[in-house]
Structure 1
Amino acid sequence: MRVLIAPDCFGGTLTAREAADAIATGWREAKPDDVVTQRPLADGGPGFVDVLHAALNGDIRYITVTGPLGEPVEARWLSVHTASLDGDSPDSASPVVDSPNAGGRRVAYIESAEACGLHLIPAELRPQSCETATTRGVGELIRAAAVDNDVIYIGLGGSGTTDGGAGMLAALSGASAHDDAVVDTDTDDGVVDLTGTSLVVASDVENPLLGPHGAARTFGPQKGASPEAVERLEAKLAAMDVLKPVADISGAGAAGGLGAALLSLGATVTSGAGLVRELTGLDAALDDADVVVTGEGSFDWQSLRGKLITAVASGAAERGIPCVAVAGQVSVGRREMGAAGVQEAYSVSEHVGSVQKAMAEARASLVETARHVANQWSR
C-alpha cells in the first residue's frame, strides 16, 4: 500500500516532523513492504514556520521580541521570494520559489506562537498570566517583517494570551509596554507604515471573538483561566471598541482575540490548514496515496472547526481514499468524525494505558499505536 503520513504537531510533546517520523516508523515495523511517505503539516499554530520552510525554502530570520510574560524571547519568521505569476492576487503566495533577484513578491510567514505561545509560559504561572500575557512580540515581528516584505501571513494558534491583540496593536502604534491595554489605533502617531503590505491571517480555528465559542470561554481554560477569570477576560474583550466591528467574523477569536486585532487592521483571513495544504503540495501527495494517516495532540470538537485534520480528511474524501486519525486523546464521536471525512480515530493514551504514559513516552507510545493502526488498515 501507498501510505501518506500527514500529521500536525502533538502539542507539548512532538513536533509535526517528529510525529510523522514516529507514525512512519511504527507503520514500517508492522508492514515493511508498504510505501510510506511523510508530509508533516501545520494549521497556523506551532510548526507553521518549520513546515513551510521545508516546503518553500526561503530565509529564516531571527529577532528578539517581547515574550508573553514581558521577557525577551528569540523568535523567527520565514521570508520567501515568490515567482510572479499571471493572475496572482496581491494577497496570495505561490509555492513556486523564484530567484531573489527576479520579479515577484517577498512574502513573510510569521508564527504568532513564536512570540506569545503557551509553551513559553511555565504551567505553574498560567493561572496568573492568563489575564496579563501579552501579544506585543507579535507586533514586533510584524514591524520587522514589514520592512522588506509585500505580504505577511500571520499564523495563529497555540497562544498563551487572551489580550485581544492589545499588545500587538501597541507595538505597531509605538506605544510603550505599559500602554498595551489602552492602545488607540485611531491615531496615526508612531504607527508602523503598512501601506503596500498585505496582512493575511492564517487561522487554525473559526471561532468568533465573543460568546460561548469565543476566545475567552473556549480557550481561556486551556491557558489557565478559572471560571471567574474567563468572565473577566470576556468582559475585557467585549469592551475593546476597536474589535467590535470585526467580533463576529470567523477567526476573530483565534489566539485569544489576536485574529480580531489583525482584522481591525484590514487583514484578510484564510484557513491556516488550507494554506499549508496548498503550499506544501499536499494534494499531489494525496493523489499517490491509498490511505492517509493524520493526527494531532487532541482530536476534539475544536478539530472540526478549521483545524488540520479536517483539511487532510477533506482532501482524502475528494479522492475516495480513507483517512485515519491518530491523536493523543480522542473525544470526537464516530458520527462527527465520519461527517468530517475521518473513517477511524485511534487514541494513543487509550492504546498505551494512560495519558501520563502517552506524554512521558511520547515517541515510543506513538510508534506503538502506529503499529496497531498499520495492522488494521494495511491490506
Structure 2
Amino acid sequence: MKRMKFVLAPDSFKESMTAKEVCKAMEAGLKVVFPDAEFIHVPMADGGEGTVQSLIDATDGEIYHQTVTGPLGTPVDAQFGIIWSQQTAVIEMASASGIQFTTKETKNPLTATTFGTGELIKACLDKGINKIILGIGGSATNDGGAGMAAALGVRFLDKNGLPLPAGGGALGSLCKIDLDGIDPRLADVEFLVASDVTNPLCGDTGASKTFGPQKGATPETVAILDSALAHYADVIDVQLGRKVKDVPGAGAAGGLGAGLMAFTHCKMARGIDIVTQYSGLSEKLVGADYCFTGEGGIDFQTKFGKTPYGVAQAAKAQGVPVIALAGYIGEGVSELYSEGIDAIFGIVPGAENIDALLKNGCSNVERTCENIGRLLKIARA
C-alpha cells in the first residue's frame, strides 16, 4: 500500500497555539493511526498577526529583534524575519506601530506615528535583501505612512521649511516633501504589501472615517484627519506625480498603504495569497492524500481571504481533500463546502472555561486528529 502523505497547513489559534505548534499537534494525533505516513508542515497565516513567524517557520528563515520607535514615540521591541533562500524580508507593521502599544487613555491618532515601521524597513535594508513582504494590519496610526517615510530619510516641511511633528494631524500643514535624503536603497527593493483592505485614503470609506474611531478618533478628530490626509495626497500628487487618494488599499493601516505607494515600489496582494506563494504550499501539496488546515474560528467570513479558505483553494487545484479544524465553528460554514473544504471539525471536548480551552489547545488538536485519522482508516479499509 502507498505510503500516505499529509500536508498540514493551519493558521495559528490565537492566544493558544502558533501555526507551527498546531502542525506538531496535528501530526502527533494522525501518527497514532498512520505511524508510517509522511507529514509535511506548512505553517500558514493570512497577512495579519503571525505572518512573520509562519513564513519563517515554513521556509527555515531567521527572526531578528529590533528596538524601534513605537506609535506613541516611546521605544518598543519589534521583530522581522528574513527568508534567506529568497533574499526576502517579512515585516508586520503592527510589530512596530500596532494598536497593542496603546491603551484607551493613550490612543491618539492625531500624533501616532509609523516611524518604527520605517526603522524596521531600514533594518531589513541593512541585511542586504531585495524584497520586503509587509503585512499592514492592526495599526494604531493614521499618518498616511509619513512617519515610515521620515524614518527612511524623507522630510515633510511646513511653509516655514520646518519639519512637521509626528502624526496625521500635522499633515494639514504640509507644504513641501523633500526627497533629497531618502534612502537610495529603496529604489532597488520591491515591496509586496499584504492587505485585504481595499479602502481609499480619504472620504466616507477612507482611512480616517472607517478605522479612525477604533484608534481613538472622535467625530471632530476624524474630520481633521480626513482633511489632513486629503491635503497630504494632493501634495504627493503635485510634487511627486503619484496619485494615491482614491487608489484601493491606500487607506490600509491609517494610510500606510498610500505612503508605500508614494515612496516605494510596491504592489498590493491578499495576505493569504502571498503566504501561499512564499511557503511553497502548492508544490508541497503535489501527491498528498489529505490536507489539514484550521484556525481559532471558522464561519461565513472565512471565505473572504482567511487561511483555511486560501489553503482549500490551493489544495482544490491539486485535487487534494481538505479537512479543517477550529476552536469555534460559527454560522454559515456550509458555504465553505463548495469552496474546497470537505469537512470541518471542532476541537473543543466539552464545556470548559476559556482559559482551560486555550491552555489545552495542543492536546485538543491532537485528540481530534487521532479520531479523524481513525475515520480515514475505516474509509481506506
TM over 0.5: yes
Task: State the shift of 1:4 in Å.
Answer: 1.5
Bigger Rg, structure 1 or 2: 2
The answer (yes or no) to whether the contact 2:136–2:256 under 8 Å persists in 1 is no
Letter in 1 for 2:188: T
Q: In structure 1, the residue corresponding to 2:48 is in which secondary structure?
A: coil
Q: Where in structure 2 are the equivalents of 1:165-244 lying within 5 Å?
A: 165-172=145-152, 173=154, 178-181=165-168, 182-183=170-171, 184=174, 186-188=177-179, 190-209=181-200, 229=218, 236-237=225-226, 239-241=228-230, 242=232
Distance in 2 between the 1:305 and 1:238 partners? 31
Q: Is the 8 A contact 1:151 1:197 kept in 2?
A: yes
CA distance, structure 2, for counterparts of residue 15 and residue 240 of structure 1: 37
Alignment of 1:114-153 (within 5 A): 114-118=95-99, 120-121=100-101, 125-126=103-104, 128-129=106-107, 131=109, 133-147=112-126, 149=128, 151-153=130-132
> What CA distance in whole angstroms lies between the structure 2 residues aligned with 1:369 and 1:248?
47
Structure-1 separation of matches of 2:7 and 2:209: 36
State the partner residue of 1:90: none
For the Cα contact (< 8 Å) 1:203–1:271, is it kept in 2?
Answer: yes
Q: Deviations over 1:30-79 (max 9, x none)?
A: 65565433221233333333333345456544421112343322333334
Residue matched to 2:237: none
Deviation at 1:328, TM superposition (A): 3.1
Residue equivalent to 1:4: 7
For structure 1, list consecutive stretches of 5 or more residues without a partner in the other structure: 83-94, 96-105
Amino acid at match of 1:154: I
CA distance in 2, matches of 1:42, 1:372: 25
Separation in structure 1 between the aligned mates of residue 302 and residue 206 of structure 2, nearest angstrom: 15
Change (3 A) 1:180 1:152: farther
- The alignment status of 1:42 with 2:45, answered yes or no, reads yes
SS in 1 for 2:177: coil
SS of equivalent to 1:168: helix
Q: Secondary structure of 1:153's partner?
A: strand
Name 2:140's counterpart in structure 1. Answer: 161
Task: Select the residue among 14, 37, 43 that pairs with 2:17.
Answer: 14
Partner-residue secondary structure (3-state), 1:22: helix
Contact 2:249/2:258, CA 8 A, preserved across alignment: yes
Alpha-carbon distance, 1:289 to partner: 1.4
Describe the shift of the 1:27–1:195 C-alpha distance in structure 2 as closer, same or farther (beyond 3 A): closer
Residues 119-171 of structure 1, C-alpha deviations (whole Å, 9 max, x = no match): x437xx25753746543211111123234535332321552424243432343
Alpha-carbon distance, 1:317 to partner: 0.8
Q: Which residue of 1 aligns with 2:73?
A: 70
Report the AA paired with residue 225 of structure 2.
K
The equivalent of 2:91 in structure 1 is: 110
Q: Partner residue of 2:304? A: 305
Does structure 2 retain, via aligned residues, the 8 Å contact 1:153–1:199? yes
TM superposition score normalised by structure 1: 0.75
CA distance in 1, matches of 2:300, 2:244: 24
Shift, 1:15, TM fit: 1.6
Equivalent residues of 1:113, 1:157 under 8 A apart: yes
SS in structure 1 of the partner of residue 166 of structure 2: helix
Q: Name the TM-score, length of structure 2 as normaliser.
A: 0.74
| Cα offset, 1:318, TM superposition | 0.8
SS of residue paired to 1:196? helix
SS of residue in 2 equivalent to 1:364: helix
SS where residue 258 of structure 2 aligns? helix
Kept after mapping to 1: 8 A contact 2:20/2:57: no
2:257 corresponds in structure 1 to 259
Say which SS state the counterpart of residue 110 (structure 1) adopts.
Answer: strand
Paired with 1:54 and 1:3, the residues of 2 have a C-alpha distance of 18
* Contact 2:48–2:136, Cα closer than 8 Å, also in 1: yes
Please identify, of 298-307 and 258-267, the stretch whose mean Cα deviation from structure 2 is larger: 298-307
The CA deviation string for residues 236-268 of structure 1, in whole angstroms up to 9 with x for no partner, is 357412458445545445444433332233421
The offset of 1:348, in angstroms, is 4.0
Shift of 1:335: 4.2
Q: Give the secondary structure class of the aligned counterpart of 2:337.
A: helix
Aligned CA distance change for structure 1 residues 69 and 239 (closer, same or farther; 3 Å): closer
Q: Counterparts of 2:226 and 2:196 in 1: how far apart (Å)?
A: 18
Shift in Å at residue 286 of structure 1? 0.8
Structure 2, unpaired ranges of 5+: 157-162, 235-242
Change (3 A) 1:14 1:194: same
Q: For 1:318-337, what aligned pairs fall within 5 Å after superposition?
A: 318-331=317-330, 333-337=332-336
One-letter code aligned to 2:24? D
> Counterpart amino acid of 1:192?
D
Contact 1:146 1:197 in 2 (8 A): no
Equivalent residues of 1:150, 1:197 under 8 A apart: no
> Identity of paired residues, percent?
32
Check 1:152–1:129 CA distance in 2 against 1; reply closer, same or farther (3 A cut). farther
Could you tell me how far 1:322 is from its partner in structure 2? 1.7
